[in-house]
Amino acid sequence: MRLGTTTLPSPPAGGGDAPAPCAITLRPGADLDGFRSAARSLVAQRVPPEAVTWSITDSPGLFGSDAEATQAAPLALPKPVAALIPQVIPHRDPERYGLLYALIWRVCHGERHLMEVGSDPLVHRLHRMAKAIGRDLHKMHAFLRFRRAENSGGEHFVAWFEPDHHILEAAAPFFVNRFRGMRWSILTPEGSAHWDTETLTLGPPGDRGKLPEGDGFEAGWQTYYESTFNPARTNLKAMRAEMPKKYWHNMPETAAIPALVRAAAGRTEAMIEREPILPTRREPARAVAAMADQDPKTLDALNAIIRRTEPLVPGATQAVLGEGPVGATIAFVGEQPGDQEDRQGRPFVGPAGQLLSRAMAEAGIDRGASYLTNAVKHFKFEERGKRRIHQKPTAGEVSHYRWWLDRELEFVAPKLVVALGATAVLALTGKAVPITRARGPFRFERHDNRFQGFITVHPSYLLRLPDEAKAEAYAAFVDDLRRVEALGQELAA
């Protein structure tokens, strides 16, 4: 990028002399680099804004070469000032550089907080210029239309756009971020931008004649535009305020506007004057039936839905469904399947499941006659070497899966629901309940489901305990299961 040239006076000798005039020339367009180096030099040389004249030329260097040597130190500017400068530079107003330099000067001479004073005429004017640039950029992002062309490299999208200000370079990153996988060119009267899926290149002014003649989707787009218009709400002033006419000739859909407006009043009157239609084919019963029909009618039907749904957290081999007879007296709800369960597709078959089986047997509960399931239906894990380490489901995951648990229990209709561990309790109550305090009989009420329940620990908790604590905790667990068994007997009777 070419640097602007700066003709600087000799440093002021001090005293009250009027500063020597200083002429700066910058390249056409948005010359941020040229302005920056000029501003640095001018501030370093203490040249006040009124002594500077700013001009623009295609051939910098015309006015002498002494300036290019003076690369002054960067200016330390408050953030809002530094942010405003690139927002104003693309403005086509030739006074922009002088105004920005006046701002920098004042900020560097005692008015550090000037940007906060939005009521100051200079700040106000610069804000309005920045706003105009923001709007120009926004309209370019919004109203630019690509047309598809085929060339040797395949698909190539080309657009012609006429911005109000020197914004092509500032507008380009938006298109890169959005159309990264496409090859495209944006042509403007001042310059062009080209993207080849990897690199952005800025080039000379574009030629409107290079734009493809048309595009296969323009007619469809116009159809859409016509159809989405509601004639009963015609408001041309609002349309023109947001989409001024100057943009129309580059937007294919606007060709429809005159006809739409002409027909609007007639279409609206016709709608209002037409005799209202008496509902003849009303059959609400069918809709109601369709809604009732869609619900899974059996546990198998529900399980089919669960089986074909993807895990919320990717990784699991399969969904692990509940197991046991419909109508079982006792249903056990665990947390989520583990490594073994995920491989075999059955609940409670891993180490914790085996421990549960043993405890159930000791407590006199027939595992085959009970229903066993999990709050979450897919295994979540972290891979460590060859091992898959179980990860506890989050509250969001438990909520995501809880609809199935609710329905499942509706089908099984157990007399007693045993929550094994905190996750099961969360799934059954919707609340975090501390196990140690709630351990024992509990009433689960959720939506339409009401179950006599029992809260105890998850068997995997027993596996994690140090050996010396294990025996006692296991005995307490078996004790809980004995109470469960008794409660089950009582409720079944």
Partner 1 sequence: MDETLAKKLRILADAAKYDASCASSAAPKRAAGKDGLGSTTGAGICHAYTPDGRCVSLLKILLTNWCLFDCAYCINRRSSNVRRAKFSVEEVVNLTLNFYKRNYIEGLFLSSGIIKSPDHTMELLTRVAKSLRRDHGFAGYIHLKSIPEASPWLIEEAGLYADRLSINVELPTEASLQQLAPEKDGAAIQGAMAQIGERIVQAKAEKRRFSPAGHSTQVIVGADATTDEALIRKSALLYGSVGLKRVYYSAFSPIPDGSAILPPKPPPLQREHRLYQADWLLRYYEFTPDEVADASEGGMLALDIDPKLAWALKHREKFPVDVNKADREWLLRVPGLGARAVDKIVAARRHATLRLDDVARLTSGLKRARPFLVAADHRPVGLTDRLDLRARLVEPATQLSLF
Residue 478 engages partner 1 in binding (rule: CB under 8 A): no
The sheet with strand 5-7 has its strands ordered as 5-7, 22-26, 52-56
Residue 79 engages partner 1 in binding (rule: CB under 8 A): no
* Continuous segment of H or E residues that includes residue 471: helix 467-492
Residue 253 engages partner 1 in binding (rule: CB under 8 A): yes
The interface mask with partner 1, positions 93-132, x = CB under 8 A, is --------------------x--xxxxxx--x--------
The tokens for 443 are 């009433």
Q: With respect to partner 1, which residue has the nearer C-beta, 10 or 119?
A: 119
The tokens for 179 are 């159309």
Q: How far is the CB of 139 from partner 1 (least distance, A)?
A: 10
Residue 213 engages partner 1 in binding (rule: CB under 8 A): no
Residue 23 engages partner 1 in binding (rule: CB under 8 A): no
Whole-angstrom CA distances from 399 to 381, 424, 447 are 18, 11, 13
Question: Is residue 364 a contact partner of residue 483, using CB atoms and an 8 Å limit?
Answer: no
* Continuous segment of H or E residues that includes residue 228: helix 218-228
Distance CA 160, CA 146 (A): 8
Residue from 75, 260, 463, 465 binding partner 1 (CB under 8 A): 260
Residue from 49, 56, 57, 229 binding partner 1 (CB under 8 A): 229
> Between residue 281 and residue 340, which ones bind partner 1 under the rule CB under 8 A?
281-284, 286-288, 290-291, 293-295, 305, 309, 312
Residue 1 engages partner 1 in binding (rule: CB under 8 A): no
Residue from 16, 110, 209, 279 binding partner 1 (CB under 8 A): 279
> Between residue 148 and residue 207, which ones bind partner 1 under the rule CB under 8 A?
148, 157, 159, 174, 177-182, 197
Q: With respect to partner 1, which residue has the nearer C-beta, 23 or 239?
A: 239
Q: Which stretch binds partner 1 (CB under 8 A): 232-240, 345-353, 354-362, 454-462?
A: 232-240
Residue 272 engages partner 1 in binding (rule: CB under 8 A): yes
Q: 278 by DSSP, 3-state: which? A: coil
Q: With respect to partner 1, which residue has the nearer C-beta, 299 or 330?
A: 299
Name residues whose C-beta falls within 8 Å of residue 217's C-beta, 6 or more positions apart in sequence: 148
- Select from 448, 414, 418, 443 the least CA-distant residue to 431: 443
- Select from 390, 350, 400 the least CA-distant residue to 372: 350
Distance CA 93, CA 194 (A): 27
Residue from 20, 82, 200, 265 binding partner 1 (CB under 8 A): 265
Residue 469 engages partner 1 in binding (rule: CB under 8 A): no
> Between residue 402 and residue 431, which ones bind partner 1 under the rule CB under 8 A?
403-404
* Cβ-count burial 445-460 (b if 16+ within 10 Å, e if not): ebeeeebbbbbbbbbb
Residue from 130, 144, 328, 427 binding partner 1 (CB under 8 A): 144
Q: How far is the CB of 310 from partner 1 (least distance, A)?
A: 8
Residue 142 engages partner 1 in binding (rule: CB under 8 A): yes
Q: Which stretch binds partner 1 (CB under 8 A): 71-79, 85-93, 271-279, 381-389?
A: 271-279
The tokens for 400 are 């995501």
Return the number of other C-beta atoms located less than 10 Å from residue 141's C-beta.
12
Q: With respect to partner 1, which residue has the nearer C-beta, 120 or 323?
A: 120
The tokens for 286 are 């069918």
Residue from 36, 92, 106, 145 binding partner 1 (CB under 8 A): 145
Residue from 59, 65, 201, 399 binding partner 1 (CB under 8 A): 399
Q: Which stretch binds partner 1 (CB under 8 A): 52-60, 199-207, 216-224, 452-460?
A: 216-224
Question: Is residue 42 a contact partner of residue 9, using CB atoms and an 8 Å limit?
Answer: no
The tokens for 245 are 């006419």
Residue from 20, 230, 382, 392 binding partner 1 (CB under 8 A): 230
Q: Considering just the CA atoms, what is the radius of gyration of the chain in Å?
A: 37
Rounded to a whole number, what is the largest CA-CA distance in the chain?
110
Residue 224 engages partner 1 in binding (rule: CB under 8 A): yes
Question: Is residue 379 a contact partner of residue 397, using CB atoms and an 8 Å limit?
Answer: no
Q: How far is the CB of 182 from partner 1 (least distance, A)?
A: 6
Whole-angstrom CA distances from 481 to 324, 416, 427, 466, 484 are 18, 12, 20, 22, 5
Could you identify the residue written with the tokens 């006046």? Answer: 102
Q: Which stretch binds partner 1 (CB under 8 A): 15-23, 272-280, 431-439, 473-481?
A: 272-280
